[in-house]
Amino acid sequence: MSVTGGRRPTLTRGVFAIEQEQLALPDPLALDTSFVVEALLATQPLHATCSAFLARIVESGVAVVTSDLLAVELAETAFAIALKEHWGGRWRGHRIDGRSRRPGTRLLNHTVTRYDALLSPVNHLPIPVRRVTVQARALMTGYGLASYDAVHAASAIAADAKAIVTLDTGFALLPSAQLAIYTDRSRLASCRNKRPH
């Protein structure tokens, strides 16, 4: 299925807004951590947009691809939140502080429970990092992707996902022929400018 919906890819550069109601959903569709964090956390600025798009994904019945790295990044998010809530701007220096581990663990459990709920209505393709290490290296050396972005992008491509849902403009370093980018409206211009010619 074409993700461009018949539009000229030269205009869109393979970057589309998730707010767009007519946006076609390819099967499978890859999710990046940035989108999942926004969908799960009700206090995030794009929560409404991302949870609405998640509902569209579920309703459409397309399968979802994620890297196994996503679950690890969610755990990291939970601990970073606990540290930042307690220590504010100095949170990075308190990583080994045991007092933050208990709230971090509690938040991690809440996050994992919700992530499991998020995946339960979809057919899910979790891609182990070890299955895409060579592909990730190729994306780093070929297009300058950062390592973690490269793992997510390689997982999407290896599973034959035609698009990744992300709020991270770093994925736009990939040529549009490799992977379409589904992002929020405010990031369209930035992603399109980053696309290689």
Partner 1 sequence: MRSVAKQQTNGKIERLSAEELAELLVPATAKTPEEKRAALKRATTGLRVKVRVTRDMYRPR
Minimum Å gap between C-beta 28 and partner 1 is 9
Smallest CA-to-CA distance from 52 within 42, 67, 64, 62 is with 42
15 touches partner 1 (CB under 8 A): no
List 15, 24, 37, 108, residue binding partner 1 (CB under 8 A) = 37
**Phi, psi (deg, nearest 5) at residue 127:** -100, 120
Q: How far apart are CA 140 and CA 193, in angstroms?
A: 19
Per the CB < 8 A criterion, the answer to whether 185 and 21 are in contact is no
Minimum Å gap between C-beta 24 and partner 1 is 20
Minimum Å gap between C-beta 115 and partner 1 is 7
120 touches partner 1 (CB under 8 A): yes
**Phi, psi (deg, nearest 5) at residue 31:** -115, 140
Nearer to partner 1, 9 or 121 (CB): 121
Q: Is 184 helix (H, G, I), strand (E, B) or coil?
A: coil
Residues touching partner 1: how many (CB under 8 A)? Answer: 63
Q: Would you mind telling me the total number of residues written for the chain in this entry?
A: 197
Binding mask 80-119 toward partner 1 (x if CB under 8 A, else -) reads: xx--xx---------------------x--xx-xxx-xxx
Binding mask 155-194 toward partner 1 (x if CB under 8 A, else -) reads: --xxxx-------x-x-------x----------------
Per the CB < 8 A criterion, the answer to whether 156 and 171 are in contact is no
Per the CB < 8 A criterion, the answer to whether 35 and 165 are in contact is yes
Q: How far apart are CA 175 and CA 181, in angstroms?
A: 10
Q: Which residues bind partner 1 (CB under 8 A)?
A: 33-34, 37, 39-45, 47, 51, 54-55, 58-59, 63, 73-74, 76-77, 80-81, 84-85, 107, 110-111, 113-115, 117-128, 130-135, 138-139, 142, 146, 148-149, 154, 157-160, 168, 170, 178
